[in-house]
Chain A
Amino acid sequence: MNDLTPTREQRTAALEGMGCKRKRVEDIRFTQGRGNYVDDVKLPGMLHGDFVRSPHPHARVKKIDDSEALKVPGVLAVITAETLKTVNLAWMPTLAGDVQMVLADGKVLFQNQEVAFVVATDRYAADDGINKVVVEYEPLPVLVDPFKAMDPDAPVLREDLVGKMSGAHGPRKHDNHIFEWTVGDKELTDAAFNKAEVTIKEMISYHRTHPSPLETCQCVCSFDKIKGELTIYGTFQAPHVIRTVVALIAKLPEHKIHVIAPDIGGGFGNKVGAYPGYICAAVASIVTGKPVKWVEDRIENLTATSFARDYHMTTEVAATKDGKVTGLRVHVLADHGAFDACADPSKWPAGFFNIVTGSYDFPTAHLAVDGVYTNKAPGGVAYRCSFRVTEAAYCIERAMDILAQKLDMDPAELRLKNFIKPEQFPYHSALGWEYDSGDYHTAMRKMMETTGYAALRKEQAEKRAAFARGETRDIMGLGISFFTEIVGAGPSKNCDILGIAMFDSCEIRMHPTGAGIARVGSKSQGQGHETTWAQIIATEIGIPADNIMVEEGNTDTAPYGLGTYGSRSTPVAGAAIAMAARKIKAKAQMIAAYKLEVHEDDLEFDIDGFRVKGLPEKFMSMKDICWAAYNSVPPGMEPGLEAVSYYDPPNMTYPFGAYLCVMDIDVDTGVYKVRRFYALDDCGTRINPMIIEGQVHGGLTEAFAIAMGQEIRYDEVGNVVTGSFMDFFMPTAVETPHWETDFTVTPSPHHPIGAKGVGESPNVGGVPAFSNAVNDAFSFLGSTHIQMPHDFWRNWKAAKDLGAVA
């Protein structure tokens, strides 16, 4: 061997496979403004559509007069519910088994609801047209408070459901009731509470918020009358599902619908569902025979597309007096707005909220969730979380702190005492899940050691003493959060959307020169799939990641997949990629055996090719095998080197993490300062550490926003008072704290590469860490729980209510 022969390390590095901080291939176009987002799509003759929206939260629509609007230069059509009825599209099915008006049909149910769709030659003319549509409303009583939704005298919102006492998820108790979902053993849990030495009970609310990706929801629909084909470019997190939904409701054959999700400017759950804009643009294109673009503005995005959270959780924990938990009882009131359009797998009316037992070994638990209608925007989405896991994690992590306070125990010590132990995995939770793997004690202890937790507690005690002596007006809080997420929806035994099992898919095609293309059913919205998916393939088959092009988002070319949300891409699509690569590798091995004139079993895979066992010089590189696949395959074998895999995971994956927030609050102003934030994540095998760290930073920033101020708020008569970035808190670089990241690695035992997913963990774990820090700061003044969001005013108010401010 001469010096030019690459070493094993060099050969491995050349692949830029898993574990490598490979720089993102996407960035070359994004940094030059060469991305291709939906609003960049321009088709010949394209028209623009825009909505007339209701100023009223609840009102009868008496009359819509479009005569003046149609006189506006450039305006071609005004579409109303009456127009849509002619094509049976006035209402559409929701992902949650409800139906939703596409355009106001007889009445409106929330402020800014879509009433009419104006189609014009450009966006300015469309806007002119909107202003000329005259709508006559008769205001109706408004229901804002979900706690009053089931009062006997509450206004009835959904007149279409009056008298229907059975819904998609069982019996309904009231005209404004959507479903009741119960899980767990009620009797056993009640018994645990009856004999408990200690119990806590707290109403823990997780306020309504909004994902608000920087790019709003938008689409371009183009119907070709000659071919009878509809092409839709859109901001879709799940393009294949959108195609199926369109086929089902528009009665177009699925193969004549082409859905293309180009570059997407952030999703965070907001772009999972189907919105009236998509339907109206498609209908408008069919009616006019021209492409129609619909681009939502920011106010529309914040007030009319899917909100998140709005869970009000009455939480009880039973425990022994030395701090062993013995039971959990949670009742949730879920405010779903005007239509139940929540994006959850079909069987789960409240998503995976039954992960609410968290990281703790609860012997028994019981959960009941009631969903209700109110005069608010519909469409609860799992904003940067896996189907209500954020709410569940917040609930249990707050509850554990409240219990620790009651027991006068350190919250870290209480958690360590109740964690599921490493030897208990796979662990069956009291509410029905099987956790795949975990090592919580190691993660927690690493967090405590790295942050100097004991010293921080000591400092806090000193500060409290100084505060009592009147020497400082600052109070210090330590917010611990230890979360277990449930991601990777999902196994067909658990999960489907509209009856379609939630598998995912990958097709890999290797070309003669050793370069190839991978098409995947997932759809990146900034997660860097083009970079990381190639890394999985690089490691699996020994071809450099740079030689693999990854393509997603075109339903004509990508195999059917369920898309990207709920941190499902790596657990599901990532597994499909590895399995497709393994099929390629298996065929490659047969070709190599033929070329090297040995039996396949005599070959071993070695970084970037196959080697004859015991004969190191007899080696065939993967690149050469690719060439051979097209000219000299074994007799009887088909030429070519490609594979498809559809992966139905056997289980979810359960990433976890230990976070600590150190916060100081000035009681006289309520101004807080996040002094430190440490986040340890365990997402199993790490594909690209650089991208994981970036995802953690981003998730923590969104958690910071939600916990510390971001809220979709309604006044008492149903007006949205947080409808722009002026009043909806969006942290800038100035407010955003510095993030410290760390990790442990506990691979998933059932995933082909052991990866669990990470994108949402920091949001799930971050919110309770911030909230616990605020609550911990105030706890010595006698409070047990202060509701989020913890903005300056609320902090000051809390200090005042607790007597710390005169």
Chain B
Amino acid sequence: MAKTHVTMKVNGAEVEGLVEPRTLLVHFIRENLQMTGTHIGCETTHCGACTVDIDGMSVKSCTMFAVQAQGSDIITVEGMANADGTLSALQEGFRMMHGLQCGFCTPGMIVRAHRLLKENPLPSEPEIRMGISGNICRCTGYQNIVKAIQYASAKINGVEFQEAAE
């Protein structure tokens, strides 16, 4: 099948590649760019393990073609750490609040939470739950993921994080 040349920005760097028009974005990221943090869980846009941030929106990269991302600005989990390489507030929150177990949904969850906090810096618990409802986690039962996002929200906004009572 004839290949198409695509260019885009991923985690701040200009990248390019030759892909078949049918190549899914998640495969382009994982196979061509060799960035394997973005995972494939369901291939039907349900689980969110493949979530990346495209031009300021959370997108499931398992149901988008790479050619559709031509010229766009993409952030993957590999672009989530602070500039100096330390864990970002969100990544730290997931670790501090035990917001992950097997780690497979975690990249998509963190990328989604990143956008959620950009859109709504101090979300309530129901807002967080609704905000991550496109991402499935099989291990944690979500409670600690919610706390992780609350932790990050508090840290980013410079307010004190208070763990909700059980």
Contact = CB atoms under 8 A, between A and B. Distances in A.
Interface string B125-141: 00011101111111111
Interface stretch (A21-29, A282-290, A510-518): A21-29
17 contacts: A27-B95, A30-B106, A35-B104, A123-B27, A124-B23, A215-B102, A266-B138, A526-B104, A693-B98, A698-B140, A698-B141, A700-B141, A701-B142, A730-B47, A732-B132, A732-B134, A733-B129
Contact of B98 (A33, A691, A700, A741): A691
Contacts of A30: 100, 103, 106
Given A526-B101, A698-B101, A701-B140, 10 more contacts: A23-B96, A39-B36, A214-B102, A264-B102, A265-B105, A693-B98, A694-B144, A697-B140, A697-B143, A700-B141
Nearest to A704: B141
B104 A734 contact: no
Interface in B11-38: 20, 22-23, 27, 30, 34-38
Interface of A: 23-24, 26-37, 39-40, 42, 123-124, 212-216, 263-266, 268, 297-298, 525-528, 690-691, 693-695, 697-702, 724-726, 730, 732-734, 736, 738-741
Interface residues of B, number: 58
B104 A33 contact: no
B125 to A, nearest CB: 9
Contacts of B78: 32-33
Interface of B: 20, 22-23, 27, 30, 34-44, 46-47, 49, 76-78, 80-81, 87, 91, 94-96, 98, 100-107, 110, 128-130, 132-146, 166
Nearest to A35: B103
Contacts of B139: 266, 526, 694, 698
A726 B63 CA distance: 14
A26 B43 CA distance: 26
A734 B129 CA distance: 5
B142 A733 contact: yes
Contacts of B110: 31
A527 to B, nearest CB: 7
Residue from the set A33, A35, A39 with the largest chain B CB neighbour count within 10 Å: A33
Given A31-B110, A691-B98, A740 B145 contact: no
Nearest to A212: B138
A694 B137 CA distance: 12
Nearest to A298: B42
A215 B38 CA distance: 12
B44 A33 contact: no
B141 A724 contact: no
Given A32-B87, A33-B35, A726 B128 contact: no
Contacts of B140: 694, 697-698, 701
Contact of B95 (A24, A37, A123, A694): A24
Nearest to B42: A298
A230 B133 CA distance: 42
A271 to B, nearest CB: 11
B59 to A, nearest CB: 16
B135 to A, nearest CB: 8
Contacts of A525: 102
